[in-house]
Amino acid sequence: MTRGPHFRVALIGASGLLGRAVANELATITRWRVIRTAFRHGDANSITLDIRDEGAVRHFVTDQAPDAIILAAAERRPDVCENDPMLTRALNVDALRYIASAARELDSWILSISTDYVFDGTEAPYQPDDAPNPLNAYGRSKLEGEQALLQSGARSCVLRLPLLYGPVVDWGESAVTSLAPAIVESARGVAPAVMDAWATRYPTFTPDVAVVIRQLLERHEIGESVTGVMHWSGDEPMTKFDIAQRIAKVLNIDARITAQRTPIDATPRPRDCHLTSDALEVLNIGQRTPFDTAIRTVLQNWPRPTNL
Q: How confident is the model at residue 272 (pLDDT cuts 50, 70, 90)?
A: very high
* Percent of the chain with pLDDT strictly greater than 90: 85
Any domain includes 251: yes
Any domain includes 305: no
Residue 30 is predicted with a pLDDT of: 92
185 and 118 in one domain?
Answer: no
Q: Residue 194's domain spans which residues?
A: 171-199+236-273+294-300
**DSSP letter, residue 238:** B
Q: Are strands 228-231 and 156-161 parallel, antiparallel or unpaired?
A: parallel
Which residues lie closer than 8 Å to 11 by C-beta, 6 or more apart? Answer: 19, 22, 23, 26, 34, 35, 36, 37, 70, 72
Residue 67: name the closest of 262, 209, 223 by CA. Answer: 223
Residue 308 is predicted with a pLDDT of: 44
**DSSP letter, residue 307:** T
Residue 78 is predicted with a pLDDT of: 87
In DSSP notation, 195-220 reads EE-SSBB--EEHHHHHHHHHHHHHHH
Residue 264 is predicted with a pLDDT of: 82
Residue 219 is predicted with a pLDDT of: 96
Any domain includes 160: yes
Least reliable range by pLDDT among 71-80, 236-245, 294-303: 294-303
Residue 4 is predicted with a pLDDT of: 47
The string of pLDDT tens digits covering residues 88-103 is 999 999 999 999 999 9
- Torsion-angle region of residue 228: left (phi > 0), alpha (psi -120 to 50) or beta? left
121 and 32 in one domain?
Answer: yes
CB 29 within 8 A of CB 85: no
214 and 72 in one domain?
Answer: yes
Q: How confident is the model at residue 306 (pLDDT cuts 50, 70, 90)?
A: very low
Q: Burial-class residue 279 by CB neighbours within 10 Å (0-12, 13-18, 19+).
A: middle
278 and 189 in one domain?
Answer: no
The string of pLDDT tens digits covering residues 96-136 is 999 999 999 999 999 999 999 999 999 999 999 999 999 99
The string of pLDDT tens digits covering residues 176-196 is 999 999 999 999 887 899 999
Number of folded domains that form the chain: 2
250 and 135 in one domain?
Answer: no
194 and 175 in one domain?
Answer: yes
Residue 16 is predicted with a pLDDT of: 93
Any domain includes 306: no
Mean pLDDT of 147-154: 95
Rg (CA), the chain: 19
Q: How confident is the model at residue 302 (pLDDT cuts 50, 70, 90)?
A: low
Residue 2 has pLDDT above 60, yes or no: no
Is 0.75 topped by the overall pTM?
yes
Residue 263 is predicted with a pLDDT of: 87
Residue 239 has pLDDT above 50, yes or no: yes
Mean pLDDT of 275-293: 97
Least reliable range by pLDDT among 65-69, 125-129, 261-265, 289-293: 261-265
Amino acid at 19: G
Residue 1 is predicted with a pLDDT of: 38
End-to-end, the C-alpha distance of the chain in Å comes to: 52
Specify the 3-state DSSP secondary structure of 115. strand
141 and 56 in one domain?
Answer: yes
Residue 3 has pLDDT above 70, yes or no: no
180 and 85 in one domain?
Answer: no
Residue 66 is predicted with a pLDDT of: 97
Residue 153 has pLDDT above 80, yes or no: yes
Identify the bridge partners of residue 204 per DSSP, sorted by sequence position. Answer: 164
Helix or strand (DSSP H, E) at 251? helix 240-251
Average pLDDT, the chain: 92
Q: How confident is the model at residue 6 (pLDDT cuts 50, 70, 90)?
A: confident
**DSSP letter, residue 177:** G
Q: Burial-class residue 161 by CB neighbours within 10 Å (0-12, 13-18, 19+).
A: buried
Q: Are strands 228-231 and 257-260 parallel, antiparallel or unpaired?
A: unpaired
Instruction: Give the C-alpha separation, 260 to 265, whole Å.
Output: 11
157 and 94 in one domain?
Answer: yes
214 and 157 in one domain?
Answer: yes
Which residues lie closer than 8 Å to 232 by C-beta, 6 or more apart? Answer: 159, 160, 161, 204, 209, 212, 275, 277, 280, 286
Any domain includes 308: no
Mean pLDDT of 226-231: 97
Any domain includes 123: yes
Any domain includes 307: no
